[in-house]
Structure 1
């Protein structure tokens, strides 16, 4: 088994406080390891240490595979070159030497358009030399690979000229990921690669990592389904160790629960044994005490003689019990303790109306692109609506229309006059960055410091954490702060845009339970498939260029319905053609440039575009 990386006894301190210590990790070729742990455990910090960007407080990292052959996608990877287009960003980050040559060629082309005849010969010669270097370095094949990677990720030609800074969060993630795919590193480090990706891109990434990518992967993710489908090993990071578990998230949880049960059983047995030993020792000490008190009493000489004989006989047993207790304490099994969890309950104030919001004949779009055309529906108490669809299909736009932040071009969005709406923004807007957590609560009329600290503790902000400025919090901490804000809003309707991004799994599971118990209505956009499966009882799927599709029921009920429909319609020509198109597209996406030249790769790319167009037409019928 070839090793990619060896890390020994890694420890890290931040601001004089230990973050973790005693971390050992070996990564073998071909492994797909999920680095798992609660927010604040230092997962991203550990990745940066392994990548050589940070020095640990102690310990060593041996990069057996040279880091030039690594690829790293950071959690908040905002490039400086934000004026570039999406296509330029992928090119610049995938192959810097070829990108520099391409820029030089473009600069000479520009000069040639505005130069006189005397300078033209020199420019033509310079251009020819650069072009020869570009072609011999694989520049044209590289351009094809860039376009192929972007197409595979669903970044079509219409997005290529768009400035990077104007892209959505999901599109930015795809761009950075696309640059990594072009480089084709042997070892991938991915920090929250699924953030902001739509379901189609998520499925593609899972399939690519498992079936097409031949390298090694170490990734951080809170997406439980992604971990289940991709990981071969889960490494749980705590303050004192990094523990390995085979399989994905479900396997990890099953093994973790078994360990906790065993620890609980051992702890109970130990406590029973300890109490029995202590009781035996207490009895022996009582015998010794009676024997000692009887030594000088002439009237009870017979009794004294009895106790002395008894004490003498039990002295060896007494010492044996003491040693057994010492051994038990030395091998002590700690009482199982669960990590602190967020404690929260969302309660809706009483409202007499059943219908909280009604959308009637609503139309809206951007420029010539119409997102909603005479769209109507209503939200009632108890509705938990999940809005789904690819990035750019209008999910966040719909939420903003429901909130009244955007006005429809036609139709109406009407709320019950007494309805209160609680909004969780994907961008975490509305948080007072300059205030401390404690001060933000003390600003509420009637709030005491004691009550404020208790509430912050329920949201996992303890001790000195309450004095942190909101602007200095981690993304996970900001998400918890946003839920704290919802707690005080007393909403009848929750509008949630990616509420579980940046939250660890334990907190996500608490949020899921809170939302299931919430008595009001919910409109939810989320790429967290576990969350949507657990919470939603109505499903709205948005399709670019097509009409929204409703399903009245949960994800499980939808899957059951689709399975029945698939059996009924499985033999139709249309369904067979759809399956053929999808199979051929996946086949083409799995091909690499190494299997053909630049012309062949260009043909593959053209065929993919044609097949995608036909598939979209079939799905729209």
Structure 2
């Protein structure tokens, strides 16, 4: 076992007015299974790149192990998978590789297929297997769940639980709980490490937040008292100074001297109080509250909104899904479950009117207004004001939701194209919450979205009870919000 030492780490991107890290210090044992959590845009992927030496920074990072990053970049996707593995790690042993693939429930026949013909889930498993074969290597695993279905997540989570020596960035609570023994969290004003999993960290965080909220109430009272006292001191000195200009005989020199002494004393007291107020106001910023969200409500006059009767869908001659039947009624919150490739996204696209070949009968209620969140965020451009105008949504509500989802006001000045993956998803989520829709159709809305924001979404769904059909592989989210399931 060795350690990775981070001391006084300071970093900001060139030309940016945001400081990502400032004088950050902590230690990591290389035997830990370390989960990495924090709000979107706080610098998780940036920190991994700093460990890899990809950016210049202030402070020191000391390590005695090599670092390997997942997902590993593949230059030639069309070559055999076995050749991809040889490019990554030429010194691998065949029997060790086969053993790792067995743990990941992959047949060795995938080695002799071209890498681009493998599913995203299979590619994820292959890369994890070969990277863990490398000796004296500490793995930096950046959001491996984004291309894994529910079953794939269980398999990879079990695999990681048998390993050691990695940092795992993930926003899936169950996945983290099953995989890690320590957690590294980037909070609002600090970075901390705790022993345990996500659930134990979150429980501790809630207790700490409750304590800080109580302390903050005391601080607010104290700040109010100090402000009042400082104001009174200023008033006394002003009155004393004014008295030397009154009518009648008086020793104006004495009064002036007294006023000057009172003024000097008042200013000294005021300076100490302002310093104390400033320190206490800093403490008020330590708490991080995930505020409740709001969403527009719009109810259709029909009870039954959508019906699929024996629907089968095709891409060319390939059958994507077949003999699908279900109904969606007003107030239903339905989770669509199934392995990757079983047609979950296809069903959502058919409802949204995409021209996909199909048989069977699809009924859509007349004048049904649909709010759709796509998996794809690559087309997002422009600033948030322009985006709200284009989408015909209330800009104030839209930006208020984004603020509650931890967008700083600085983000409002940037182009959406430079946002992180999670921040782009939040833009689409906020848009959907603002739309006056009869039904919300969400296709994997939580990819890259941080855990606290997922919990906020759970709460707004519970509070407003929209009609919702969604595809999502986060088991905890699905169990917490869905009233029905469609299993493919």
Question: TM-score per shorter chain, which class?
Answer: 0.7 to 0.9
User: In 2, are the aligned partners of 1:233 and 1:247 still within 8 Å (CA)?
Assistant: yes
The partner residue of 2:398 within 438, 452, 455 is 455
> C-alpha distance in 1, partners of 2:460/2:278?
42
Q: CA deviation at 1:323?
A: 11
Question: Residue in 2 aligned with 1:35?
Answer: 36
Query: Where do residues 508-523 of structure 1 align in structure 2 (5 Å cutoff)?
Result: 508-523=454-469
TM-score (norm 2): 0.80
> C-alpha distance in 2, partners of 1:271/1:156?
62
Change (3 A) 1:4 1:490: same
User: In 1, are the aligned partners of 2:292 and 2:460 still within 8 Å (CA)?
Assistant: no
Question: Residue in 2 aligned with 1:72?
Answer: 69
> C-alpha distance in 2, partners of 1:280/1:525?
58
Q: CA deviation at 1:421?
A: 2.4
Question: Residue in 1 aligned with 2:15?
Answer: 16
Question: Residue in 2 aligned with 1:440?
Answer: 387
Question: Residue in 2 aligned with 1:386?
Answer: 335
Query: Where do residues 244-323 of structure 1 align in structure 2 (5 Å cutoff)?
Result: 244-270=193-219, 272=221
Change (3 A) 1:388 1:288: closer
User: In 2, are the aligned partners of 1:264 and 1:335 still within 8 Å (CA)?
Assistant: no
Change (3 A) 1:185 1:413: farther
Larger RCO: 1 or 2 (CA < 8 Å, sep 6+): 2
> C-alpha distance in 2, partners of 1:351/1:288?
66
1:190 aligns with 2:141: yes
Question: Residue in 2 aligned with 1:4?
Answer: 3
Question: Residue in 2 aligned with 1:471?
Answer: 417
The superposition leaves residues 265-313 of structure 1 with CA deviations (integer Å, 9 ceiling, x where unpaired) of 33444555566677789599979989x989x999xxxxxxxxxxxxxxx
User: If each structure's helix is expressed as a fraction of its own residues, which one has the higher value?
Assistant: 1
> C-alpha distance in 2, partners of 1:321/1:468?
43
1:218 aligns with 2:212: no
Question: Residue in 1 aligned with 2:301?
Answer: 352
> C-alpha distance in 2, partners of 1:260/1:426?
33
> C-alpha distance in 2, partners of 1:279/1:469?
43
Question: Residue in 2 aligned with 1:332?
Answer: 280
Question: Residue in 1 aligned with 2:252?
Answer: none
1:194 aligns to what SS in structure 2?
A: helix
1:363 aligns to what SS in structure 2?
A: strand
The partner residue of 1:375 within 296, 321, 324 is 324
Question: Residue in 2 aligned with 1:105?
Answer: none
Deviates more, 1:242-251 or 1:354-363: 242-251
Q: CA deviation at 1:336?
A: 3.5
Question: Residue in 2 aligned with 1:61?
Answer: 61
The partner residue of 2:447 within 501, 507, 510 is 501
The superposition leaves residues 167-209 of structure 1 with CA deviations (integer Å, 9 ceiling, x where unpaired) of 4443332232232233365422111122221222222222222
Unaligned runs of 5+ in 1: 99-141, 299-317, 543-621
Q: CA deviation at 1:54?
A: 2.2
Q: CA deviation at 1:416?
A: 1.5
1:50 aligns with 2:51: yes
2:59 aligns to what SS in structure 1?
A: strand
> C-alpha distance in 2, partners of 1:477/1:503?
7
> C-alpha distance in 2, partners of 1:520/1:266?
37
Question: Residue in 2 aligned with 1:615?
Answer: none
The partner residue of 1:411 within 360, 379, 388 is 360
> C-alpha distance in 2, partners of 1:247/1:402?
43
The partner residue of 1:235 within 159, 172, 184 is 184
User: In 1, are the aligned partners of 2:33 and 2:182 still within 8 Å (CA)?
Assistant: yes
User: In 2, are the aligned partners of 1:493 and 1:522 still within 8 Å (CA)?
Assistant: yes
> C-alpha distance in 2, partners of 1:217/1:225?
18
User: In 1, are the aligned partners of 2:384 and 2:415 still within 8 Å (CA)?
Assistant: yes
> C-alpha distance in 2, partners of 1:279/1:442?
45
1:89 aligns with 2:88: no
Q: CA deviation at 1:357?
A: 1.1
Based on CA coordinates, which of the two structures has the bigger radius of gyration? 1
> C-alpha distance in 2, partners of 1:365/1:280?
76
User: In 1, are the aligned partners of 2:121 and 2:148 still within 8 Å (CA)?
Assistant: yes
User: In 2, are the aligned partners of 1:384 and 1:521 still within 8 Å (CA)?
Assistant: yes
Change (3 A) 1:244 1:512: same
Q: CA deviation at 1:432?
A: 4.6
The superposition leaves residues 567-591 of structure 1 with CA deviations (integer Å, 9 ceiling, x where unpaired) of xxxxxxxxxxxxxxxxxxxxxxxxx
User: In 2, are the aligned partners of 1:263 and 1:335 still within 8 Å (CA)?
Assistant: no
Change (3 A) 1:247 1:361: same
1:459 aligns to what SS in structure 2?
A: helix
The superposition leaves residues 198-221 of structure 1 with CA deviations (integer Å, 9 ceiling, x where unpaired) of 2222222222222x21x3222222
TM-score (norm 1): 0.65
Change (3 A) 1:16 1:404: closer
User: In 2, are the aligned partners of 1:266 and 1:333 still within 8 Å (CA)?
Assistant: no
1:171 aligns with 2:119: no
Question: Residue in 1 aligned with 2:261?
Answer: none
Unaligned runs of 5+ in 2: 249-265
Change (3 A) 1:15 1:327: closer
